Amino acid sequence: MPEFSSQNIKHLLNRTLFGFSKEDYFMASAEGSISSLVKKLLQDKSIPEAPNSWVSTTPAQIQQDNGSASTWYKEFTIWWNQLMFKESLSIREKMVLFLHNHFSNERDKVNYPQYMYQQNQLLRKFALGNFKQLAKEICTDPSMLIYLDGNNSRGPQPNENFARELFELFTLGIGNYSETDIKQAAKAVSGWQVKGLESVFDSTRWYKETTLTIFGKTAQFTVNSLIDLVFEQKATAEFICRKLYKEFVYYKPNEAFVQEMATVFKVNNFELKPLLEFLLTSEEFYKASYQGSKIKNPQELIIGTCKLLELPKPDANNWYEMAIILQMQLFNPPNVAGWPGQRNWISSTTYSFRGGFTDSLINGKRYNGAAVTGKLDTLPYIRTFLNAEKVDLLVEDYFFYAFPIPLSKTRKDQLLQTILSGTIVSNWTTYIAMADTRVNSFLKALMRLPEFQLC
């Protein structure tokens, strides 16, 4: 079992949460062991209340209320952001986002937020549950039927979009199926339509052949039996475990360890919780070379910085707008493959806007000059640190929470001089003139560092 060290605790929280506060860290430390903390992170939680009553509004009713969809999508997005912000010690919302990116759908094509809400709840239901059962249910999910054209797929001439993405992106991966397999699978998943807020099966739209042949097996396939067959293929467990490894460990998978994960996954009948417990308690997960190697996605940056600053009521509109600018608008990935992540998150433009966002939490102004509500109350916040009046120890304490791995001495010295702003260490106190300005300059400089973009 990996050592229950401060560094390992921090690494585990960085990868399983959307950032963490001092309180989160103290609660995690109280668990006493990596095993206990992982079990805490993997505990089941109750399903949250819906964002509003519009979730049960039918498409027919929406047609009479033109223009509401965009408003509802914004409310829906902020609702999910709030769940991330208030997640405490739970991996659930991180897994919901992973699955949202895995079974990727775009709001502009699905159109109705009611369908996307249903899918979001489906992903939340199975975030720590059975992945094979989730795959079965996603096949007939209204959002997915609309997004990948299953809604208009008829057995005699089926639309192949969903079957292709099911194999390529959702289960098997490229090279583990044939074009014939896709054509036959497209017939098996045909016959489903979206009516109102539900998906229904119409046998008259299903295939007419007595049997189909997929992966060399001949049978009368349904959605469920097709997915059962897909999960019998060795490549499926490997493909899903590889994606989980890239999300939680490192973007270049250790294939030998992926094979170990796949074995655990299959032995546990494709249950996610035991797989994640195996991964998060492994020596592999805590390797020093992997810590601080992941570039924060925009949601991790946005929500995590607000947690770090312990903002009681962050500006949700600021969250929403900055996620769009930073190219990670929830429910609107670039395509069916989802957000590619890692280095794709950083460009000369987005890096500047990242700094503009973190500045806004401190100075109360967005990149365009608009006011931000709920900005940092600097001195009361900094005084919550045990060593607030001992500046050299204060900055060391802050570095621990703000960065995934230790900073170089040069970086530390630069930031120490920023907060001192011409005074000397022995003269520091949070009650000296312009202490808030000095701390603000320190925080803004710290959060604009490349190292702050890592987790």
DSSP string, 43-75: ---PPPPPS-GGGG--HHHHHTSTTHHHHHHHH
Integer Cα distance of 254 and 261 in angstroms: 11
Q: Which residue has the tokens 């991790």?
A: 300
pLDDT score of 234: 98
Q: What is the reported pLDDT for 62? A: 76
Average pLDDT on 144-150 reads: 98
pLDDT at 291: 99
pLDDT of residue 367: 86
Kindly report the CA angle at 455 between 131 and 11, in degrees rounded to 5?
Answer: 75
The pLDDT value recorded for residue 72 is 96
The domain tally of the chain equals: 2
The verdict on residue 181 lying in a domain is: yes
Residue 175 belongs to domain spanning: 145-222
Averaged pLDDT of the chain:
97
Last residue of a domain, one of 222, 245, 264: 222
Q: How many whole angstroms separate alpha carbon 2 and alpha carbon 19? A: 21
pLDDT in the model for residue 66: 60
Looking at the domain assignment, is residue 387 inside a domain? yes
Stated as kind and residue range, the H or E segment containing 199 is strand 198-201
Q: What is the pTM of this model?
A: 0.98
Residue 274 lies in a domain: no
pLDDT greater than 70 at residue 109: yes
What's the pLDDT score for residue 266?
Answer: 99
Of 387, 296, 333, 358, whose CA–CA distance to 84 is shortest?
A: 296
Question: DSSP letter at 90?
Answer: -
Give me the torsion for CA of 103, 107, 111, 112, rounded to 10°: 70
Instruction: Give the pLDDT band of residue 292 (cuts 50, 70, 90).
Output: very high
**Is residue 441, in this structure, part of any structural domain at all?**
yes
Is the predicted pLDDT of residue 120 greater than 70, yes or no?
yes
Examine residue 366 and state whether it is found in any structural domain, yes or no.
no
When pLDDT is averaged across residues 379-386 and rounded to a whole number, the result is 99
Q: Quick check: 416 and 391 in contact, CB under 8 A?
A: yes
- Domain final position from 222, 248, 269: 222
Of the candidates 416, 438, 433, which has an alpha carbon nearest to the alpha carbon of residue 425? 416
Which of 172, 196, 222 is at the close of a domain? 222
Q: What is the pLDDT of residues 190-231, one digit of tens each?
A: 999 999 999 999 999 999 999 999 999 999 999 999 999 999
Q: DSSP secondary-structure letter at 78? A: H
Question: Which residues sit opposite 193 in a β-bridge?
Answer: 200
Cβ-contact 17, 83 below 8 angstroms? no
**Residue range 32-76, pLDDT digits in tens:** 999 999 999 999 999 999 999 999 998 878 776 666 889 999 999
In a domain, 409, yes or no: yes
242 pLDDT band, cuts 50/70/90, is: very high
pLDDT tens track for 317-366: 999 999 999 999 999 999 999 999 999 999 999 999 999 999 999 999 99
Average pLDDT of 390-405?
98
From the list 308, 327, 325, 306, the residue with the least C-alpha distance to 316 is 306
Residue 256 inside a domain? The answer is no
Output the six-digit token pair for 363. 């100075």
Confidence of residue 156 (pLDDT cuts 50, 70, 90): confident
In this prediction, residue 165 has a pLDDT band, given cuts at 50, 70 and 90, of very high
CA atoms of 6 and 400, how far apart (whole Å): 9
Burial (CB < 10 A; 0-12, 13-18, 19+), residue 319, is: buried
Q: What's the pLDDT score for residue 65?
A: 62
pLDDT at 238: 99
Amino acid 329: pLDDT: 99
3 state SS of 213: strand
335: in domain: no
